[in-house]
Amino acid sequence: MNKNKEQLLNKRYKAEQRFRLYGQSAIFMALLFLTIFIFKIFSTGYSAFQKTWLIVPVNFDAELMMLDENPTKQDIEDADYYEIALQSMWNLDPNANEDQQNQLKRMVSYFFEREIKQELLKDPNLLGKTKEVYLTASDDLDQVFKGNYPRDLPEDQRRVSDYQLKIFDQLVANGNVESKFNISFFTNADSREAELAGIASSFMGSIFSILVCLMIAFPVAVLAAIYLEEFAPKNRFTDFIEVNINNLAAVPSIVFGLLGLGVLLAIFQLPRSTPLVGGITLSLMTLPTIIIAARASLKAVPPSIREAALAMGASRMQTTMHHTVPLSMPGTLSGTIIGLAQALGETAPLILIGMVAFVNTIPGSPMDPAASLPVQIYIWAESAERGFVEKVSACIMVLLGFLIIMNLFAQIIRHKFEKKWS
Amino acid sequence: MIKIKAKDVDVFYGKKQALFNISLDIEENQVTALIGPSGCGKSTFLRCLNRMNDVIDICSVKGEILINDFNINDKGCDVVRLREKIGMVFQKPNPFPKTLYENVSYGPTIHGIAQSKQEMDEIVETSLKKAALWEEVKDRLHEPGTGLSGGQQQRLCIARAISVRPEVILMDEPCSALDPIATAQIEELIDELKKEHTIIIVTHSMAQAARVSQNTGFFHLGQLIEHGSTDKIFKNPDNKKTQDYITGRFG
């Protein structure tokens, strides 16, 4: 009998040990996946924060630019820079034939004459002189310099010719190639040229969408939750509403996109591709999440607090506003942040309402066309150029950073509230 | 003087009847104890007196409850003003998760009793003094009320209840979550409070009922079996059931 008992006890201990092991390996797996994911993104994406520049001497020849001796600011603005820009690239190899001259031109970014113009606008005294100017390298050379482009491929399978590589290597040897922090990634809007493409438009688009979403979803959801939880009679009809709110939370997001397309764009004629429409569509999606979180945290407020306030002669409204709602706020806010984080990462509904359009301007208000960060990732991931590969990962990093900051913010708010009520 | 007069009160939870034909008179400035086994309806009756049963959707109350000759079950009765006159202390101490000061000043604030900050300070001080808590907490009025011990929390709840100077205080097993020392303090307090307030206390402890009350009502299965002076109920009850209960034969 006693021996039997001991065996049973041993069995129980072993079962517990096994269970712990399962749990630990589950956590290990989760951490492993996370590490691989983050490592992959960082290792592909970090190089996007660097940009390769070619340092090329430019002769600001007044004659080629068709300028007088003493040009006004407007003259400088209107001058023709293409010729001197071309000349400065051709000067890298004075013996180049026509085809090679064309290749030389394609070593720098498509709009390289604009960079030369900026230089002269900054310092008009340069007129007639020669200065070394930083020109953005083409995305292919940028990738070559970062080591992301295989140089050992046969020439006809490469987008960079042997001749271009030769000139580029000369420049590198002379110290005329430099890598600097890629500011334009944050200040430029999207572009067809990978070396010029930036996230400014999609970042602002995301911020405007989230703000519109918050301003619509939060008040509506909180009011709905308070009414349902504190004031509405508990009957079949409110049960029915509750079930349907839960159903709404489970509706695939693309359906909300169709709703936005069919109602907001088709019926209300709101401007297409704008964060306004995006935000309204996302708020429909976020609404049930916030309602559910707010109701749960209202339910978690002990009934004894409500009774205490009611027994003091507080009206139902006073009980709710003075006690229940403030006590439930931390939970409601964290639910809101979770909902907004979901909305921030949402792509499908935005594609349907046209926020997938190529936007090369930075939106100044929710009424201007814009992309959003996840849609930008989608657009870039579809692009063929090698230069966009690292941009995709970099954009993911920015999106993740955005989410982390939001969660941190939520935590801080929660902490502040909880301290007050403890 | 009779303060509260209950006439033929029936209470239903949905279809289930919880109280049957309760008629009970409550004397002014005395302590009335309601005793009986669990589930006998004594707390339900207590909650009828400040219409706290309104909160429960399925609960309906019939009959007349006259307070100062005014039927509180009338449609014209405003529960907010009723509850200002009839305070309540609950079984589990339930201070608001706010400071001590905010706890006591909440009632006067929502009813607009104090005209100035100074007046409010006075109300808070007198209420805490009457609740025999002032000496212990006067240096930490702006600390959270939830940081006090159980007994102190319950006295804080009493201070909160008397801050609006109610005519009646309802107490629903106020000592059941407290240790004997805290219980003794509360009982002493009840004795003091009855000078200015009419007190109705629901209790499980017959010893407590005997100690603090002048009148006692005995409930069983939703009926008021017997009521009268505490002396008579405990020493010479008319009903056999009362006799059995107070001698500990059931309950």
Q: Read off the pLDDT band of A63 (50, 70, 90).
A: confident
Residue B204 lies in a domain: yes
For residue A420, pLDDT over 60 is answered with no
Please tell me if residue B112 touches chain A, with a CB cutoff of 8 Å.
no
Dist. CA B135–CA B153, nearest whole Å:
14
Mean pLDDT of A265-281: 91
- Joined together, the tokens standing for residue B143 give 């600390």
Residue B62 φ then ψ, to 5° = -120, 160
CA distances for B115 relative to B160, B162, B163, angstroms: 18, 18, 14
Residue B238 lies in a domain: yes
Nearest CB partner across the interface for A422, out of B57, B82, B144: B144
Residue labelled with tokens 């292919």 = A140
Please tell me if residue B161 touches chain A, with a CB cutoff of 8 Å.
yes
The CATH code of the domain that includes B23 is 3.40.50.300
Q: Is there a contact between A313 and B81 if contact means CB atoms under 8 Å apart? A: yes
CA distances for B14 relative to B41, B191, B208, B213, angstroms: 15, 38, 33, 33
Q: Is there a contact between B96 and A304 if contact means CB atoms under 8 Å apart? A: no
Range of lowest pLDDT (A15-24, A66-75, A124-133, B230-239): A66-75
Q: For position A422, what pLDDT does the model report?
A: 41
For residue A119, pLDDT over 90 is answered with no
CB atoms within 10 A of CB A184: 15
CA distances for B142 relative to A6, B123, B167, angstroms: 58, 15, 28
Residue labelled with tokens 């429960």 = B56
Q: For position A421, what pLDDT does the model report?
A: 47
Query: Which of B151, B195, B205, B135 minimizes the C-alpha distance to B169?
Result: B195
Please tell me if residue B87 touches chain A, with a CB cutoff of 8 Å.
yes
Q: For position A407, what pLDDT does the model report?
A: 87
User: Which residues of chain A lie closer than 8 angstroms to B164, CB-CB?
Assistant: 312-313
Q: For position A221, what pLDDT does the model report?
A: 96
Q: For position B46, what pLDDT does the model report?
A: 93
Q: For position A391, what pLDDT does the model report?
A: 92
The three-state DSSP-derived secondary structure of chain A is CHHHHHHHHHHHHHHHHHHHHHHHHHHHHHHHHHHHHHHHHHHHHHHHHEEEEEEEEEECCCCCCCCCCCCCHHHHHHCCCHHHHHHHHHCCCCCCCHHHHHHHHCCECCCHHHHHHHHHHHCHHHCCCEEEEEEEECHHHHHHHCCCCCCCCCHHHCCCCHHHHHHHHHHHHCCCEEEEECCHHHHCCCCCCCCCCCCHHHHHHHHHHHHHHHHHHHHHHHHHHHHHHHHCCCCHHHHHHHHHHHHHHCCCHHHHHHHHHHHHHCCCCCCCCCHHHHHHHHHHHHHHHHHHHHHHHHHCCCHHHHHHHHHCCCCHHHHHHHHHHHHHHHHHHHHHHHHHHHHHCCCHHHHHCCCCCCCCCCCCCCCCCCCCHHHHHHHHHHCCCCHHHHHHHHHHHHHHHHHHHHHHHHHHHHHHHHHHHC
Q: Is there a contact between B88 and A311 if contact means CB atoms under 8 Å apart? A: yes
pLDDT, one tens digit for every residue, chain B (251 residues): 888 999 999 999 989 999 999 999 999 999 999 999 888 989 999 999 999 988 888 889 999 999 988 899 888 889 898 999 999 999 999 999 999 999 999 999 999 988 899 999 999 999 999 888 999 998 999 998 888 988 899 999 999 999 999 999 999 999 988 889 889 989 999 999 999 999 999 998 888 999 999 999 999 999 999 999 999 999 989 988 898 888 887 75
Percentages (nearest 5) of helix, strand, coil residues in chain B: 40, 25, 35
Q: Could you tell me the residue range of the domain that residue B165 belongs to? A: 2-246
User: Structure pTM?
Assistant: 0.84
Residue B251 lies in a domain: no
Q: Domains in chain A, start-ordered, CATH in brackets?
A: 52-182 (no CATH), 200-421 (1.10.3720.10)
Query: Which of A147, A174, A172, A144 minimizes the C-alpha distance to A160?
Result: A144
Q: Is there a contact between A314 and B110 if contact means CB atoms under 8 Å apart? A: yes
Distance (Å) from the alpha carbon of A352 to chain B's nearest alpha carbon: 46
Which sign, positive or negative, has the C-alpha torsion A331, A336, A337, A341? positive
More confident: A155 or A282: A282
Distance (Å) from the alpha carbon of A335 to chain B's nearest alpha carbon: 22
Q: Which one of A312, A327, A420 would you mutate to disrupt binding with B, by most B Cβ within 10 Å of its Cβ?
A: A312
As for the ipTM of the complex, it is 0.91
Count of domains observed in chain B: 1
Nearest CB partner across the interface for A315, out of B80, B90, B146: B80
Distance (Å) from the alpha carbon of B59 to chain A's nearest alpha carbon: 13
Q: Is there a contact between A312 and B92 if contact means CB atoms under 8 Å apart? A: no
Label residues A124-139 b or e (16+ Cβ within 10 Å = b).
eebbeeeeebebbbbb
Distance (Å) from the alpha carbon of B234 to chain A's nearest alpha carbon: 32
Q: For position B193, what pLDDT does the model report?
A: 92
